[in-house]
Structure 1
């Protein structure tokens, strides 16, 4: 596999890194988190002007026609700066579902507005008790004339309160865990009967709980074929996992850099502690773990756009497993090498560790995805 970036990709990544270094400071990020708004409008508009918000959308809808590898470049760079803006929720999940399954009218209406930085989306799929089971959906969508009436609850909706429009999964047919019978609907954030409870997460991001009480939507709110949404949900989830793996790699690289700088400046017995060989060995292990994770993140990105369900899901699960394990190793080592300072709010390293911990839990932790890979291997050997 060729791990080298083409010239245009390298130029984009370099430009984005310079912007984040100069304009997206640790202090400014802190103020964005404290505001409770979930984003800095100026930063979001800058992302739009750089073309990042429409990177993977078709050119006919004001996009640049990119793929999951381009998303990887953006998310890895975002991970280095711990960007909190809702790129994953709006562009990768919400915009990705419209791109892959929306009607021409939905694409023409929504995608250009996302690209321009004028529209925010969220994907409301997870439910209480479902954990990582994508087919467990109890939210109902009953036919009502030409439209539908939605009732149910959704949990852990990334940037749900920041969205103008949500994509909600609901069951139009079948039993609770049936793979068939799940549909996707566009729901406006201000619609009657929808309650959104917003709160901050451990790592400074925003998430929400949704309650749908007789929410009425028209027939034009349906995304894709009724009852056949699970493959779309699986692919959207795999694209999100690949993006998170890339973000984790960026965060690990930043954590390594911060830790190395600390070892060079912190003195004990009159010399920098980086002179101690045992700490040098620990630092080398951290760099090796990051390189291992990066290789798997590239694998995930290269397979995330594939329509081969089994191959795609296996590659993504393998990457999520390795990245989760490496992130834990790097994060815990960094905290130990920083000493007590490594868990204080004043240290960038502490915030990087928090984000890595949360990434491991999103869309299935390392243990869960290791189980999926093991099951696939056993089925193949049977």
Structure 2
């Protein structure tokens, strides 16, 4: 499969880049950060994104979406990463849309997918419970109760959880805390009795939440997928998020690189443009090659998800690991080549560094995906 965008995907990329550049520049992110905005994003911007079709990229046309696939979602996410745009795109339009499209009942799909595509309903995935990403560790319990279950437990790092209307919660219906078998996913009303959400602000000024569940009653109709067989579904949802996060980090890396190159062409030292210094040219050339490698790995992962390739998980872990490593390199180099001013809030490169660090840790860092990749390859 060629590692290039189709004509339609190129048009989506160009449209997304223009939209985020004009409607959601870095200045908009700074404004939200400085105001300590409780929502964490601009709801007006999210409405515009829905009107552009970005919220429904993974929603089938039958439910009001565009059904464009993961490559299209990735190029939009990359454009958002270039501008550090803050929105529910990842939590709602990618994670939740994947979950409901893959495993929702006809009734669940008819109810929720049109609301995702229109931007009316926000979702959040509640999976992690430990300080570091470990989706197999699920201590939250779902005990049979009436015609459904009662949920008890706690989750951490629930992206956009504080503003979500509906939560997708991983809970254990059988087995020990670290077993793959016995995990079930549930759709939970964020305002249900026993649900407590505490907003937390991260280093990149985005929001997550801590979730506590105390005797939260859910019905059998709230089960997403099959009882006790949610581990594979959870992996599928997370892989969609990981691939699109890799695309976002690619945007962070590419914009950091381009901003730095522009600076090297302008900054003078000893009467010369610093871009003429061979040592900096070598570092810039190396960074360019690394960004392009990350681009190839990310596009291959997105294509594999669209093709439902049996090796998609392997490609996704490779892309997430590579893009995270390159984003770290790109933002480090951006700060260093800017010199002292790169450490201040007067320029944007420090903001890109913070986003790169958070995205790199989200849904598994380099070590997690290196280990997962080795396991998938049989080592």
| Short-chain TM bin | over 0.9
Match of 2:42 among 40, 43, 46: 40
Q: Return the offset for 1:343.
A: 2.6
SS of 1:210's equivalent?
strand
- CA distance in 2 between counterparts of 1:356 and 1:128 reads 21
1:150-207 Cα distance to aligned partner (Å, 9 max, x none): 0000001011001111011111111111211111111111111111000111112110
SS of 1:66's equivalent?
coil
SS of 2:156's equivalent?
strand
Partner residue in 2 for 1:350: 350
Partner residue in 2 for 1:372: 372
Any residues of structure 2 matched to 1:144-183 within 5 Å, and which?
A: 144-183=145-184
Q: Return the offset for 1:305.
A: 4.3
Partner residue in 1 for 2:65: 63
Deviates more, 1:286-295 or 1:262-271: 262-271
Any residues of structure 2 matched to 1:285-296 within 5 Å, and which?
A: 285-296=286-297
Partner residue in 2 for 1:72: 74
Any residues of structure 2 matched to 1:267-306 within 5 Å, and which?
A: 267-305=268-306
Whether 1:249 and 2:250 are equivalent positions in the alignment is: yes
Partner residue in 2 for 1:86: 88
Whether 1:335 and 2:339 are equivalent positions in the alignment is: no
- CA distance in 2 between counterparts of 1:223 and 1:162 reads 21
Q: Return the offset for 1:308.
A: 5.3
The 8 Å contact of residues 25 and 84 in structure 2, kept in 1 or not, is answered as no
Give me the TM-score of the superposition, normalised by structure 1. Answer: 0.95
The 8 Å contact of residues 128 and 153 in structure 1, kept in 2 or not, is answered as no
The 8 Å contact of residues 94 and 166 in structure 1, kept in 2 or not, is answered as no
Q: 1:109 to 1:376 in 2, by over 3 A?
A: closer
- CA distance in 2 between counterparts of 1:7 and 1:274 reads 35
1:259-313 Cα distance to aligned partner (Å, 9 max, x none): 111112222112221121211111111111100110110111112345555x222
Give 4+ residue runs of structure 1 displaced > 4 Å after superposition.
305-309
Deviates more, 1:97-106 or 1:370-379: 370-379
- CA distance in 1 between counterparts of 2:182 and 2:4 reads 43
- CA distance in 2 between counterparts of 1:5 and 1:375 reads 30
Deviates more, 1:156-165 or 1:268-277: 268-277
1:309-343 Cα distance to aligned partner (Å, 9 max, x none): 5x222111122222222222222111110112223
- CA distance in 1 between counterparts of 2:10 and 2:309 reads 29
The 8 Å contact of residues 38 and 86 in structure 1, kept in 2 or not, is answered as no
- CA distance in 1 between counterparts of 2:176 and 2:28 reads 48
Q: Return the offset for 1:378.
A: 4.5
- CA distance in 2 between counterparts of 1:299 and 1:378 reads 21
- CA distance in 2 between counterparts of 1:232 and 1:306 reads 17
Partner residue in 1 for 2:102: 100
- CA distance in 2 between counterparts of 1:181 and 1:92 reads 25
- CA distance in 1 between counterparts of 2:60 and 2:9 reads 18
Q: 1:18 to 1:308 in 2, by over 3 A?
A: closer
Q: State the superposition RMSD in angstroms.
A: 1.5
Q: Which blocks of at least 5 consecutive residues in structure 2 are unaligned?
A: none
The 8 Å contact of residues 170 and 186 in structure 2, kept in 1 or not, is answered as yes
Q: 1:161 to 1:334 in 2, by over 3 A?
A: same
SS of 2:158's equivalent?
strand
Whether 1:325 and 2:348 are equivalent positions in the alignment is: no
Query: How many matched pairs?
Result: 377
Whether 1:27 and 2:27 are equivalent positions in the alignment is: yes
Give me the TM-score of the superposition, normalised by structure 2. Answer: 0.96
The 8 Å contact of residues 161 and 208 in structure 2, kept in 1 or not, is answered as yes
Q: Return the offset for 1:91.
A: 1.1
SS of 1:52's equivalent?
coil
- CA distance in 1 between counterparts of 2:26 and 2:318 reads 32
The 8 Å contact of residues 36 and 200 in structure 1, kept in 2 or not, is answered as no
- CA distance in 2 between counterparts of 1:376 and 1:119 reads 35
- CA distance in 1 between counterparts of 2:21 and 2:352 reads 16
Q: Which blocks of at least 5 consecutive residues in structure 1 are unaligned?
A: none
- CA distance in 1 between counterparts of 2:374 and 2:126 reads 29
